[in-house]
Chain A
Amino acid sequence: MTKPILEVINLGKRYRLGQLGARSLRDELSNLGKRLSGKSESERIATSDFWALRDISFEVRQGEVVGIIGKNGAGKSTLLKLLSRITEPTEGEAFIRGRVASLLEVGTGFHPELTGRNNIYLSGTILGMTRNEIRERFDEIVAFAGIEKHIDTPVKRYSSGMYVRLGFAVAAHLNSEILLVDEVLAVGDVVYRKQCIEKMKSLAREGRTIFFVSHQLDVLSNLCPRSIRLHKGKFMQDGATTDLVRDYLKKDENQKSSSVWEGLEGDDIAQVEKVRIITDGDINEHVNIDQAVEVEVTYRCLKPGSKLNASVIINNSLGSRILSSPNLPSAIANKDDWGYRDHPAGVYVSKMEIPANFLNDGLYTIDIALSTDASHTNAYLENVISFTVHDTGSMRKEFQHAWWGMIRPKMHWHTEKID
């Protein structure tokens, strides 16, 4: 059996927190003073060390497309920096058996004064290609970026879209066995993103190994059959991306479904006890686009007389906030008996309705907040529940392609013949 193309063994990276940031000679001298005046070595190290990544081991076989999942600070970017040799690990080692191209930004090394043509060569050689390899692929790169007419224009005159397309085109045509990609798809428009994903899929079909870091869970599930999950710098899970994404979105290990949360979260004034997603009277994590959805919050008032109100925040799968709705008299469409009113001690159930034909299809997560006097936050539950809106085809009798936008309400239209 051949060796894995990527082999990571106990990899770890430590940062010295107190020393982050280049120091000035003056700071250094005053530090020296402190050191001489008796602070022990161990004392200083203990307070300033931070492991961004530790004990990471895994293998990737040739032709695999592997995603990395994890929250901010999980160590995703650090891992990518180590594998692309931008910085050295503190401990452990890794073997990469093949040429690596790392794509940590689009347009790496582009110089604004140079033309598109010159920048293709410059960026390509910075990323590790030879001039001959670039010459062979030159026409392909230009065609992929769609900038034939502007190839001899300095890139400082490019639109941001053209710039990004050209940058990705160079990287996507690198002659390397392994591609390390970080969030590159986060920039650019929807058409560009689709083009990128298609390109990466075709690279994978050619037997290229791709290592992909993204916050966009839908892109990850679309592209990577396998994923590795990191949490606070530690290895957490390795397996099918669909399973990992599902687990990742679950907040609590014990909860039965992503559409119900039960627990106690809050302070001595008020606490959230339960959050549920309800469609047609049932708890359901799968919702049709033409169904109304209710977000139900159960909370307890502990301090009589508190002016409580619940808030619902809806996020899409990219982490963007779609809307937030606090139950305050001036901020809601109807009249509510309890929102921002004095609560006697007891248990309350608030329901907010998301109308049918309002959200686009996709995965949504919900944050819940409970506040006193519309200013003090008693509880904030981030990504506490999630649900998926499915396209039923009720709005797709005519149009079949990707539907742009964060929301998909049916709007009013009026057309007149004026001539």
Chain B
Amino acid sequence: MDEHLLMTESSIPYEIHIRKRRGLFTFDLSEIIRYKDLLLLLLYRDFSARYKQTILGPAWFVIQPVLTTLVFTIIFGRVAGISTEGVPGILFYLGGLLAWNYHATVLQATGNTFQQNLDLFGKVYFPRIIVPLAATISQLIGWFIQFLTFVVFYLYFVLFTDAGNTLTLGWNALLFPLCILQAGMIGLGTGFCLSALTAKYRDLQHMQTFIVQTWMYITPIVYPLSIIGDEWRWAALLNPMTMVVENLKHLLLGTGSFDLAGTGISIGLTLLLFIIGLTLYGKIERTFVDTV
């Protein structure tokens, strides 16, 4: 009798309670952990399916930043003559893009999650956050290839040019992955917000490219933060990506100086954006299939 009771309990490990959820924050971390295998398989799918159909495959991750850097060097370096703080222009731009491109690709990969996964979300339940999470992580593959490109150019300038004298790496350079983590969080947080808004207002998906472009020019990638005067510095700090790019360049290229207050504001804004995004995403995911 007791044994029978035990068996029934063990064969039914948990109870699912279906009801209208209330409150703002409804994420269940233990459930996400239970679906970790799905995360892995989505990563695998993203990676293998994406490159099977392209001719150049992962080479795009080398070509794209190098071409962009070339354009920047000609237009902003040569033509406009904007300062790169004594660092070779190519390294200055590649370094800035190292943080920016990860942020931008995450934003683009996650910014329309609901519309893009309509069929799947309408047929089966799983924690919806797994999909943008997998997309965020899978962008790291492209980022890593871009990082290797940066390393190759860095070694070239150190070993074969005079610039080697000004380029020094301290131990604090090892902290640069934190900048990438923050760039990913800003990208994902914005992606959450855009997904939620696009699920409701479909025409917003056309805004995405515009947002990314504008955002790039207000972030100090082709120019150093120092050329913005003190009276406008506060405005630049409202953009959390500003300090991410500045700090990464400071750590890897030794430009500028570390601004503790600015970094604090940037981290605070990042967390705020991420939590707002997560909340909006969680609110929309509950019933968004009803509105399509």
* Chain A residues packing against B (C-beta within 8 Å): 2, 5, 11, 15, 19-26, 28, 81-100, 102, 104-105, 108-109, 111, 113-114, 118, 121-122, 125-131, 177
Contact = CB atoms under 8 A, between A and B. Distances in A.
Contacts of B18: 11, 82-83, 85, 88-89, 93-96
A85 B125 CA distance: 6
A109 B125 contact: no
B137 to A, nearest CB: 15
B21 interface: yes
Interface of B: 8, 11-21, 35, 37-38, 40-42, 44-45, 48-49, 52-53, 115, 120-126, 199-204, 286-287, 289-292
* Top 5 closest pairs, chain A to chain B, by CB: A85-B125, A93-B19, A94-B18, A125-B38, A96-B16
Given A21-B291, A126-B126, A113 B15 contact: no
B49 A113 contact: yes
Nearest to A101: B124
B49 A15 contact: no
Given A2-B8, A84-B124, A122-B45, A131 B292 contact: no
A309 B1 CA distance: 71
Nearest to B199: A22
B17 A98 contact: no
Contact of B202 (A20, A24, A91, A108): A24
Contact of B13 (A92, A99, A105, A128): A99
Contact of B15 (A25, A28, A88, A97): A97
B37 A130 contact: yes
B290 A15 contact: yes
A20 B21 contact: no
A5 B123 CA distance: 22
B19 A19 contact: no
A109 B17 contact: no
Contacts of A97: 12, 14-16
B20 A86 contact: no
Contacts of A118: 41, 44-45, 48
Given A88-B20, A126-B124, A128-B126, A111 B290 contact: no
Nearest to A133: B37
A109 B124 contact: yes
A30 B19 CA distance: 33
B203 A24 contact: yes
Most chain A CB atoms below 10 A, which of B38, B42, B44, B49: B38
Given A15-B290, A22-B292, A100-B16, 14 more contacts: A11-B18, A23-B291, A81-B289, A87-B287, A93-B17, A93-B18, A97-B12, A98-B11, A111-B45, A113-B53, A122-B41, A125-B40, A131-B37, A131-B40
A86 B125 contact: yes
A401 B202 CA distance: 53
30 contacts: A2-B8, A21-B291, A22-B291, A23-B200, A23-B201, A24-B201, A24-B202, A24-B203, A25-B201, A26-B203, A85-B16, A85-B18, A95-B17, A96-B15, A97-B12, A98-B12, A102-B125, A104-B124, A105-B123, A108-B120, A109-B120, A113-B48, A113-B49, A118-B44, A118-B45, A122-B41, A122-B42, A125-B35, A125-B40, A126-B124
A191 B292 CA distance: 35
B231 to A, nearest CB: 35
Given A84-B125, A113-B48, A114-B45, A177 B11 contact: yes
A393 B249 CA distance: 86
Given A24-B202, A28-B201, A98-B12, A89 B124 contact: no
Contacts of A131: 37, 40-41
A11 B290 CA distance: 16
A82 B35 CA distance: 20
Contacts of B16: 85, 95-97, 100
A111 B48 CA distance: 11
Contact of B12 (A113, A121, A129, A177): A177
Nearest to A24: B203
A125 B41 contact: yes
Given A87-B286, A90-B20, A131-B37, A22 B201 contact: yes
A84 B286 CA distance: 12
Given A22-B199, A125-B41, A126-B38, A88 B12 contact: no
B7 to A, nearest CB: 11
A21 B292 contact: yes
B253 to A, nearest CB: 40
B12 A25 contact: no
B288 to A, nearest CB: 8
A374 B162 CA distance: 95
B135 to A, nearest CB: 14
Given A25-B201, A95-B16, A126 B120 contact: yes
Given A28-B201, A81-B289, A89-B20, A114 B48 contact: yes
B37 to A, nearest CB: 5
A111 B15 CA distance: 31
A130 B290 CA distance: 29
A177 B125 CA distance: 16
